[in-house]
Structure 1
């Protein structure tokens, strides 16, 4: 198990370029199973979760060619569907949350899809009902083996388009159902569909392959089924969660940082939420420039003067993946902030580690925390801590980089699951961080 040793309290300076989006890559990589032709994907992040999925695809029989850093060509013309019923697949698929999204394309193309209960972050229950109810609506038969937590859907006679209203705007659920519906007979409509930029990217990619998906960017998708999809070339967007992480890092370390090539049009509310915390962001072309906040940052209260509340919501609301970053940033703001994490019941439990570092945080319940800002008058203190999940892990790393003294972060594999070569990239802008 690796650790990071971090000497905090050092001002950083320079440029940092966000990696390709992890959450988009997980969807896009699963979509290559929809065709037997070559699909080239660029800007794939080199992180644990993505590399696990690429390995899984290879074990399924997909031909994989690495063209260069972040660029791969896939050809799924000899998929071994029987691999899905092996013990090796049960172990492999169960270690990765994103593996659930292979089910839709496999069901659409081969009439069957199986998956063990997926792993991933320990941030509370993450239900799969939306996925499987969508497949059932398309005509698939569902079965679940409770003994080994193994899910299966089968449609030997093919899928048939249907009208459906999703019980929640699940991103992975919408992606899975859309991937199944593109090869179904007839027309499918999905209302209350997720409409995140990464889901939009998936739909655009499938249209480039010959699918007929309309309503992209809205919560009502219409899919006219086609008989076959072809190949394409696709580029992955920059990771908005990593962009938000670097904004938080700049504020907490009072550093002058430029984040390059951020795709501003796909950031949604992210810049505005950080501005509400008092952080200055300048749009310079497609870059974000953050000046050193030597005098700190003042939280903007609501219009009536009440405490600022930052909460998560389905897109175009604020992404839940950045609430941990906002919480850490709030520990040094001028003012108080209420963090309301609505979507996951265990994601705020990492705050005890920040409290150990001297942060003033009241954990009201599993979903809400009040943060009383220090205004840098009381610096966080270094400590030894363990990363519970990807987003809490990066938040603790940011806290450690701003803290007085040398901190140790254990279980850094959780951070590596979502952030590419993070220690190298941070050292390039002046951070004192060592992997051991």
Structure 2
């Protein structure tokens, strides 16, 4: 029986909330423990389904996993069981989890082989893995595809450095190639590399382990391969998607919320994008204070034309927050065009917002025009299903602002990316219960 959230909306919230560790960083960093036989200690790991499943997968592969306390684990991959990759249990685990794809680079570099079924994850449109495999093939990996969706990659000798220009700045693709290249012979240059803060974190961690990487934070990485890497300690960034979600939640519900320990310099365009939607923010040290606002007004361009909020590769606005920006706009004063470029099925949740009373025109799978209600009419509570992690939280924010009771089904989708979200919102005064 799957769980649901029952939400009574329309209550302003107040208090402090601490963002969890970054989900998208965790998936890369945890796979990176495979590049060394020495212990690696990682802290600020979020306690969420996708991350816990990846830790379980590594443990079943023979990695020693020790929980040192709360959010801190020690990993040691000194006795990896390559035979486990041939078992039905491995295939089932890897299939359920998008993050499993990032074991390819480290396993290929260190053990000369890896295999994987097509991994799972959100159904938000096509998410091809070609960038991963093309990059690893350039380093000397040989790819075999069995059936329609089982990939085997191996290298006859050591991987060797190569120059490559990625066809897309894929974050997980860049991570895989970087983890392969750090142990390859010679120099690798990766142009059009993703440069998200999470990827910078991965590179900095590998450098502390003895890797030689230049250009961190830019889209051109130069990696000189080394013989072996050592252990290290690493603390993960707070989750920028959660921080953006809480900013949106405060505005929609007219709440006064302080978001703690945000690592503000790593947030890129996120704060300014929400400011364009009319939300007031103050930085207090490393905390973001969002005052209670009765109303907020969407900015226009200098010539008076309608604002567009679109996603882009870093340092542009992250696609994971477009669902939140869209929901926030439903109660703003003014009009905005939301343009979701990367995934073609991410905006389909707007039909539920329309059922709640929002004024949205879905132009095509990538674009929606939102005409704000200026808080003159509250959204109304309905029963709805969460289609993916980010839309799930957008719908939860809508429900918290709506009049009456909402029921959100399939909340396992939300649990995949947000740790104890109901408990943390209850602490702010939200009327939410898991049933």
- TM-score, with normalisation over the residues of structure 2? 0.99
Aligned to 1:417: 416
Aligned to 2:157: 157
Q: Deviations over 1:63-107 (max 9, x none)?
A: 000000110000000001121121111111010001000010000
Counterpart Cα distance in 1 of 2:268 and 2:204: 19
Counterpart Cα distance in 1 of 2:147 and 2:204: 37
Aligned to 1:109: 110
What root-mean-square deviation, in Å, do the aligned CA atoms of Structure 1 and Structure 2 show?
0.5
Aligned to 1:188: 188
Counterpart Cα distance in 1 of 2:374 and 2:367: 21
Aligned residues: 434
Residue 392 of structure 2 is aligned to residue 393 of structure 1? yes
| 1:269 CA displacement | 0.2
Q: Deviations over 1:237-292 (max 9, x none)?
A: 00000000000000000000000000010000000000000000001100000000
Aligned to 2:263: 263
Aligned to 1:205: 205
| 1:301 CA displacement | 0.3
| 1:146 CA displacement | 2.6
Counterpart Cα distance in 2 of 1:48 and 1:220: 33
> Where does 1:35-434 land on structure 2 (aligned, <5 Å)?
35-147=36-148, 149-294=149-294, 296-434=295-433
Aligned to 2:31: 30
| 1:156 CA displacement | 2.8
Counterpart Cα distance in 1 of 2:422 and 2:85: 36
Q: Secondary structure at the match of 1:98?
A: helix
Q: Secondary structure at the match of 2:29?
A: helix
Counterpart Cα distance in 1 of 2:225 and 2:217: 19
Which of structure 1's runs of 4+ aligned residues deviate more than 2 A? none
Aligned to 1:5: 6
Q: Deviations over 1:368-402 (max 9, x none)?
A: 00000000001000000000000000000000000
- TM-score, with normalisation over the residues of structure 1? 0.99
Q: Secondary structure at the match of 2:127?
A: coil
Q: Which runs of 5+ in 2 are unaligned?
A: none
Counterpart Cα distance in 2 of 1:175 and 1:322: 21
Q: Which runs of 5+ in 1 are unaligned?
A: none
Counterpart Cα distance in 1 of 2:112 and 2:156: 5
| 1:168 CA displacement | 0.5
Q: Secondary structure at the match of 1:194?
A: coil
Counterpart Cα distance in 2 of 1:358 and 1:133: 46
Counterpart Cα distance in 1 of 2:214 and 2:86: 35
Q: Secondary structure at the match of 2:304?
A: coil
